[in-house]
Amino acid sequence: MDTKQAYMSKPWLKHYPAGVPVNVDIPGISVPELIDRLTDKYTSKAALIFYGKKITYGRLRELIDRFATGLADHGVKRGDTVALYVLNCPQYVIAYFAALKLGAKVTPISPVYTSKEVKHQLEDSEARTVVCQDILYDNIEKAGVKLDRVILTSIGEYLPALKRWFGKSALYKAYGGMHVPSPEKIKEAGLLSFQDLIEKYPPEPPRVTIDPVKDIAVLPYTGGTTGLPKAAILTHRNMIALQAQVLSFWPLFEEGKEVSMAFLPFFHIYGQVVVMLGGLALGATLVLFTTPDIDDILWAIERYQASAFYGVPTMFEYLKEYEKTDRVNWKRLKLIVCGADTLHESTIDAWERRTGSKIFEGYGMTETTAVSHGSPVNRPKKGSFGVPIPGVKAAVVDHSGMDLVPVGEVGELILNGPNIMQGYWKRPEGTVEAFVEMEGEKWLRTGDLVSMDEEGYFHFFDRKRDLIKHKGYSVFARHVEEVLYQHPQIKAAGVVGVPDPKVGNLIKAYVVLESEARGKVSEEEIIEFCRKNLAHYKVPKIIEFRGELPKTDVGKVSRRELREEGEGS
């Protein structure tokens, strides 16, 4: 079999669970139509549970429609951009689907953004409406962007009475230095109240015709490999397609009967599309958490008999050692998924020993509407992030060109499917660079270095930008990190290349030791450990101990920030 045929024959299909289709039919509907169908069908079922406060599907529909009516009356219309600068809470869900119902597009803003980053996203997305958590308003004001309307909401609005004070105090602690605007400031700035709109307006939004293929649903911003973040253009069809693809690939769930933990941040594509939209599209109950408190989450898994748990590697890394993890019967859950970053094999092994359950890995990007690959439930493979989900085609090309590489060799992953973004918002040059044409079709260049084995399973090596060139060798930062994580006294690690005129890049490892090892384990000991477990050219030349490492907003170690530090030193 030639190289091209090796990919185009889709060898992964042999390992699909029985009943999983090769392709899926994509309903020709918009996201609001999908939500309307589910809210009509499961009127009395709990859609959201927020620290004990239950909101049924029927009530959620009413709140969405009331808020949409209020937005429309204040001038929000089809094609506008509505920014959501809100933590996980019922208001996020309400505002998200209300904006989409009017034909507007949503751009979610990370609550940890600085005012400079907020300013960039508001201006770049052309948002003139912001739904804002009251404790985050400082950054909106400091951004200095001209807006038509700012709608404030408080975390306490949907909390049970006994938890309002505790909820507010916890957030003020987490977002220290932020202040709720005074009544005088609210009046002076002409700020609107979320609850006032809900109470004032009837659930009678204008009927808006949405073209699922052409109309943009969401403008989520990616972290950006260089410079400021840019937005992926996701249409209603992209979002609907992804739901159909994922539900067909993991046919474990029964519509209207599932419960999912919703602690992953909704501003991130993983929490937004897989957890929030994916849960509601299934008629599931979402147990919402504003902050990912481990004790609260573990208690809720048992209290509400959760059937789905979606996490990131740092969560599983923590849980595998946490004393209260055994309070949950993990084997009872139908699906435990890890995404957003690479899950180290040492974590997988420790988790399986501790809980007797399996973690199913997935892969995706903002540009793929969150998912493109997943582990088959009947046959996961350790060290692999799985196989393409139904409707997705995948191949691996030379990372410096466009030639397909042989099976087993490392190159850049390219993808084709109905869940792939339309391009980058207002970045025509970036869009051209992101896509290549093959077989008369448009394929996304992911920037990720992977390989495909003979069975069609894909294995992650590194981001293309994180490849370290040392004395002519290619060194994958992830491989070095995997070895560092095997050291019993290393808690966290990040590896980057530091420019050096003699060798191209020196390999530098930033290491966080376990608390009891600090001051006792030396740089030389770490280097010697690496010498025993790595080829000579992969051994770090520089070790720097840290109390903590910079993280992205979903908990990944931020190699970009470490790299920038190294380049500046």
pLDDT category of residue 360 using cuts at 50, 70 and 90:
very high
* Statement to judge: residues 346 and 320 lie in one domain: yes
Domain termination residue (choose one: 432, 462, 492):
462
Listing DSSP states for 531-552 in one string gives HHHS-GGGS-SEEEE-S---B-
CATH of the domain at 308: 3.40.50.12780
Round to whole Å and give the CA distance between 358 and 337.
9
What DSSP letter does each residue of 61-125 carry, written as one string?
HHHHHHHHHHHHHTT--TT-EEEEE--SSHHHHHHHHHHHHTT-EEEE--TT--HHHHHHHHHHH
> How much is the pTM?
0.88
Residue 225: per-residue pLDDT: 40
Q: Would you call 13 helix, strand, or coil by DSSP?
A: helix
**Over the range 237-246, which residues count as b (16 or more CB within 10 Å of their CB) and which as e?**
bbbbbbbbbb
Domain edge (last residue) among 145, 178, 209: 209
Query: What's the pLDDT score for residue 467?
Result: 81
Check pLDDT > 60 for residue 465: yes
For the stretch 115-129, pLDDT in tens is: 998 999 999 999 999
Q: Rounded distance, CA 294 to CA 298, Å?
A: 6
CB atoms under 10 Å from CB of 534, counted, come to: 18
User: Which of 431, 462, 493 is a domain's end point?
Assistant: 462
In order, the DSSP letters of 357-410 are: --PEEEE--GGGTT-SEE--TT---TT--BEEPTT-EEEEE-TTSSPBPPTTS-
How do residues 218-273 score in pLDDT, each as one tens digit? 999 986 444 578 999 999 999 999 999 999 999 899 999 999 999 999 999 999 99
| Contact between residue 438 and residue 412 where contact means Cβ atoms under 8 Å apart | no
In a domain, 260, yes or no: yes
Beta-carbon count within 10 A of 56 CB: 17
Same-domain pairing of 180 and 247: no
Q: What is the CATH number of the domain that holds 155?
A: 3.40.50.980
Q: Is the pLDDT of residue 162 over 70?
A: no
CA Rg value for the chain: 24
pLDDT at 173: 55
528 shares a domain with 385:
no
Indicate whether 203 and 239 sit together in one domain. no
Whether the CB-CB separation of 457 and 12 falls below 8 Å is answered with: yes
* pLDDT band at 179; cut points 50, 70, 90: confident
User: Is residue 223 situated within a structural domain?
Assistant: no
Same domain as 266, residue 181: no
Q: Which residue has the higher pLDDT, 172 or 560?
A: 560
What CATH code is carried by the domain that includes residue 522? 3.30.300.30
Is residue 566 over pLDDT 70?
no
Cα 445 to Cα 86: distance, rounded to the nearest angstrom = 31
Residue 432 lies inside a defined structural domain of this protein? yes
Q: How confident is the model at residue 171 (pLDDT cuts 50, 70, 90)?
A: low
Q: Are residues 181 and 295 in the same domain?
A: no
Range of the domain at 553: 471-568
Torsion of CA 370, 371, 372, 376, to 10 degrees: 170
Q: Are residues 134 and 184 in the same domain?
A: yes
Q: Are residues 335 and 419 in the same domain?
A: yes
396 and 493 in a single domain? The answer is: no
Residues 475 and 381 both lie in one domain: no
Look at residues 30, 342, 451 and name the one whose alpha carbon lies nearest to residue 212: 30
Q: What's the structural domain count of the chain?
A: 3
**Cβ within 8 Å of residue 447, ≥6 positions away:** 225, 412, 463, 464, 465
Q: Are residues 289 and 426 in the same domain?
A: yes
The per-residue pLDDT for 177 is 59
**Token pair belonging to 311:** 């996490």
pLDDT surpasses 70 at 26: yes
544-567: average pLDDT: 82
Are 159 and 263 contained in the same domain? no
**pLDDT tens track for 83-106:** 999 999 999 999 999 999 999 999
Mean pLDDT for the stretch of residues 339-349:
85
Q: What are 390-418's pLDDT values in tens digits? A: 999 999 999 777 899 999 999 999 999 99
Residue 324: other Cβ atoms inside 10 A: 11
